[in-house]
Each structure stands twice: as C-alpha cells, then as structure tokens.
Amino acid sequence: MASDWLKHLARFYLPVYQYESETMKIVYAGYSTIKKNFHVRLILGNATSHTFLGRMLFWKVKDLIKIRNLDMAVAETSRISFDYFKKCKGFIIPEWAMMKIRIDKDINEICNKDTTDFSNVTRRIRKFGLTYEILTDDESFKYFIDHVYLPYISKRHGEEALIEDLNSLWKSDPSHVLMAIRENGIIVAESLIRKSGEDLCFLRLGVLDGSEEYMRHGVIGALYYFGILEGQKMGCKYFDVGGTRPFLNDGLTKYKMGLGAEFFPDYNIWKEYLWLGLNERSVNAKNFIVNNPFMHMDEDYKMVKHNHET
C-alpha cells in the first residue's frame, strides 16, 4: 500500500527525544507517541525532564549514545532501516511478540493445574456460571463494537487507546465470528476470532461497558478457555492468542505465559520492530537488562529470550 510505504519513508528521518530521570538518560527516536510513552515509562519510570533534539537520519541515532553519554537508546525501525539496525550492537525487539497455545491434545493436559493458571480460570467459570456461544450476524457485531470493545479499550488505555475501523475487518473475511460469554443470560464479554490454516486466531476482545466487576468474575480468562474448546472443535493445532509486549515482566505477557502460551518465531516484513541500544559502560543500563528479561530477534530471525550473562 502506498500509505504504508510513505510511513516507512518518513522513518528515514526520525524525531528524537531525550528523557532523563534521577538515575538514567535515554533517547527515543520515532513518531509513535504510544510506543514512546511505553518505553519511557518502562525504562525510566517517571522522567524528570525531556528535550526534543530535532529530526535526524536514522543511522545517526546509535551515535547519540556516545555523543550525549546516554544509558540507552530506542529507535523505531522501518523496512528501509531494519537491516542497518540489525547489524548494530543492541537488540531488535518486536512491538508485539506473537504467542500461541498448542491445543491438539487433551484439554486436561492443556489446563494442567501444575503448569498453568487455568485452574483459577475454570473455578471462576463454575462460580459465576459462565457459558459461551458463537454469533455471526451484523447486529451482534455492532453491539460488540458499541457496548463491549470500545468501552473496554477506552477504559483500559485511556487517551492512548487505538480506535480501529473494525467494520472493515469484520467484512473482509466471512470466517470472522464472535465468541460471546454470558453470565446470568447477559453477554458480558466477547472476542473476535477467525480460523486461519491450523490456527484459531484471537483478534480483538472486550468486556461489557469495560466493567471491572465482570473482569473480576474471570470473563477474560473464560474467553481464552472457551477459545481453546472452540479451536479444538474446528480441528485447529494452535490457539493464536495474539501479540504481547516482548518484556516478560509485562502483566499481559505474564498472564498469557501462565495459560501455557509460548512465543513463536514470527519475523514478518509487515510487522513493527524497534532497536534497543545500550551503553556498555552504563551500570544502570545493565541493571535494566537484568531486571527486565525480554524476547528479541537473533541472527537467524528467530525470537529468543535475552540471556544477560552472554
């Protein structure tokens, strides 16, 4: 798409911002406010000051670590700059790392109480009498958008919520269906799912009115559990539970790992990646890496966990 290539061409020149806390100093190079805010919060916690350094050619970003005596640098990559950053010292990390649960086995093995957190999920399903059904009509999809999806993401992400045109997504493939969770006869959560090859793909989800009470009832866990059952009915090998942050301390990442989801090598030219550069002399940068394990791309384009001892 022309618009997609324009976005990548724009990343030839990157806006660069310097952020400081009481202990660390970093730069973020890129256009995405959401990505920038996430990584600044992750690395610094609360930044005490920030400065816009202007726009610069992408290959100059790595030199800022030495020039400005930084602890770390984060830069958005593009199809134009990806190979360059991959050759630089540092790490290529995905914006979203893909995770899947293997489901072509007995449900009791998948939900093993000794290796997963599904026992807590099924306990809440029983306690609150949660059931599910599959919906395919346009009226149900409109209800999903207006009463389930939009309120949920707005409350969860606030001003950083990414509002998408899901109507186009819904109409783009007849295999899209809704999985609806009911409690006392009321639809309290839904997910948009699609069968693709040997995968059942978990595309979007939401909770009625973004209700925290329903979330405490375990409706999101129910979407995952019933998604596995539905995927087995369809003869799928994997339940693709979607993307998550590559940092293993991230709440959503830990939740999916607790359900038995595993990272899958998933280099894709269409996906978004970032370069994470470190000042090798910075004790604070090394401490960050030790305390925040993450997945990154190795030389063979496979997703691997960073071993800070190597």
pLDDT confidence band for 163 (50 / 70 / 90) = low
- Segment 71-128, tens digit of pLDDT: 999 999 988 899 999 999 999 999 988 999 999 999 999 998 888 889 999 999 999 9
- Segment 8-35, tens digit of pLDDT: 666 778 999 999 998 999 999 999 988 9
In contact, 39 and 95? CB cutoff 8 Å: no
Compute φ and ψ for 160, nearest 5 degrees. Answer: -90, 5
**DSSP-derived secondary structure for 163-190:** ---HHHHHHH-TT-EEEEEEETTEEEEE
Tell me which H or E stretch contains 203: strand 199-207
Residue 310 has pLDDT above 80, yes or no: no
In contact, 88 and 273? CB cutoff 8 Å: no
Residue appearing with tokens 């949660």:
130
Amino acid at 124: R
Determine the Cα angle at 92 with ends 86 and 93, to 5°: 165
Residue 14's Cβ-side half-sphere holds a number of Cα atoms within 13 Å equal to 29
In contact, 53 and 16? CB cutoff 8 Å: yes
Superfamily of domain 98-263, CATH level 4: Gcn5-related N-acetyltransferase (GNAT) (3.40.630.30)
R_g (Cα) of the chain, nearest Å:
21
| Mean pLDDT computed over every residue of the chain | 90
**Per-domain residue ranges of the chain:** 2-95+272-305, 98-263
